[in-house]
Amino acid sequence: MCFVDLLAKPHWSVFTQIRTKDHDTLPAVLTRQQVHDLLAHIRLRRYRTPLKLIYCCGLRLSECLGLTIHDIVGRENKLLIRNSKGHKDRVVPLPTSLYHELRRYWAFHRHPLLLFPNVGRGDHDPKSLAQRMHQATCPMPHCSLQRLLIIARKHLNIPAASVHSLRHSFATHLLEAGAHLHTIQKLLGHKQITSTMIYLHLTHQSTREALRLMDQLCRSLPR
């Protein structure tokens, strides 16, 4: 019996405006091998590098593509995430191998600000490509990475995966490796621990230990 019947108010429309979840759905999580295969399938470095960064540091897509060269503190193994969801800033450990990869990638286009500038349209020879990226006025569009990942996962017969699945997989793989849930909460930028609890497993590891685990996650990925 519904509320309308119980209250004997058949003409009330207020209940049609209420939306509640019948159940929580678990996020799509990839295995480490599936992550490796997806990234290996995306051959172009300008697309593989941001996707790899999203996985290795647990970033949201907008956080990754909005990064600037001032957000990389390589000597301290830090990545600064500014004005993220909820208008919060946070600091994420940056694996050493990935820091060097980002330096090599930036050396190709040398944009004065953006880490992942828009490629734009035109000739795809390296010189023309680098020039357009150097002169870009905006970051790479989100749809570029989203579309490529969907194509890759369909080719590899992976049933469900999106760019955000890389963030979910990062959290799950760290927890499986022994990272503390509160550390994962901090790395993901979750305001409430309940948002992080979907990934299960509680252990006791520091942020330094999380950095070691993150280095392990990205070390075997394609370069």
Q: What single DSSP character describes residue 127?
A: H
Q: Is 199 a catalytic residue?
A: yes
Tokens, residue 131: 């020039």
The single residue of 41, 78, 82, 164 carrying the catalytic annotation is 164
| C-alpha to C-alpha distances, 5 to 10, 14, 87, 125, nearest whole angstrom | 7, 14, 43, 69
Tokens, residue 58: 């647990």
Residue found under tokens 């749809």:
143
The single residue of 43, 70, 85, 147 carrying the catalytic annotation is 85
Residue found under tokens 């191998």:
97
What is the helix (H) or strand (E) element at residue 81, kind and residue range? Answer: strand 78-81
Q: Is 55 a catalytic residue?
A: no
The single residue of 109, 153, 167, 168 carrying the catalytic annotation is 167
The single residue of 55, 109, 168, 199 carrying the catalytic annotation is 199
Q: Is 190 a catalytic residue?
A: yes
Q: Is 167 a catalytic residue?
A: yes
What is the spatial order of strands in the sheet that 78-81 belongs to?
72-73, 78-81, 90-93
> Active-site residue numbers?
60, 85, 164, 167, 190, 199
